[in-house]
Amino acid sequence: MIETVFKPEIKKQAEAIMARYETKRASILEILRLVQESCGYVSTEAEEAVAELLEIPAIDVHEVVTFYTLFYRKPKCKTRLNVCRTLTCALAGGDRILDHLEKKHGLRPGEAREDGSVSLQTVECLGACEIAPMMQLNDSEYIGPLTPEKIDQVLERK
C-alpha cells in the first residue's frame, strides 16, 4: 500500500525531506504536504502509508491530519476561496463580501458546489490585514482589498 502513495519519485523526495530532521516523525507536516500535492488530498489510505513510512501508529498520523486546517481529507475543488473573517477584515466589510458570495453566487461558508468547481471557507487572520478584506485563493495567492466586483472576476477566471 505504501507503494501506491509513495511512488518511486515521490518516495525519493520524501526521503530527502526526512533526512533533514532529527526524527522521522518530525518531518510529518512536510511529508503530508508532499502527499497532498501528489494525490490532491490525504486519504485514509495515505495516512496509513505515511504511518508506515515514518514508523508511527496510523492513529497518530490521523490526529495530526485532523488537528491542522491545511490538510484536505477529501478531493478538493478546483477553485477554493478562503475568506478571512477576523477583526480587521470584519471592520473592512468582510461580511458584505460573504453576503455577496451567498446572494450572487450561492456559496455559503463551509460549502462547495456540487460539481466540485468552487468551495468557500472562512478562515482566521491570514496576516494580510493591510489589504482587508481579503482572501486566499487556491491555498496560495492573497487577494485584497476585496470588492464584490473582484469576487465576480475571480469566479469568472476559472
Residues that bind ligand FES (CB under 6 A): 84, 86-89, 125-126, 128-129, 132, 134
Residue 55 within binding range of other proteins, rule CB under 8 A: no
User: Counting beta carbons within 10 angstroms of the beta carbon of residue 42, is it exposed (0 to 12), middle (13 to 18) or buried (19 or more)?
Assistant: buried
Count of other CB atoms within 10 angstroms of residue 125: 14
Applying CB under 8 A, which of residues 85, 107, 143, 146 lies at the interface with other proteins?
85
Percentage helix, strand, coil for the chain under 3-state DSSP, each rounded to 5 = 50, 15, 35
Smaller CB separation from ligand FES, 28 or 133: 133
User: What does 109 bind: ligand FES, other proteins, none (CB cut-off 5 to 8 Å by kind)?
Assistant: other proteins
**CB-CB neighbours of 139 under 10 Å:** 11
Binding test (CB under 8 A) with other proteins, winner from 136, 143, 151, 154: 136
23 binds other proteins per the rule CB under 8 A:
yes
Strands 135-137, 79-84: parallel, antiparallel or unpaired by DSSP?
Answer: antiparallel
Burial class (CB in 10 A: 0-12, 13-18, 19+), 12: exposed
By beta-carbon proximity to ligand FES, the closer residue of 86 and 147 is 86
* 32 touches, from ligand FES, other proteins, none (C-beta below 5 to 8 Å by class): other proteins
Q: Does 67 bind other proteins (CB under 8 A)?
A: yes
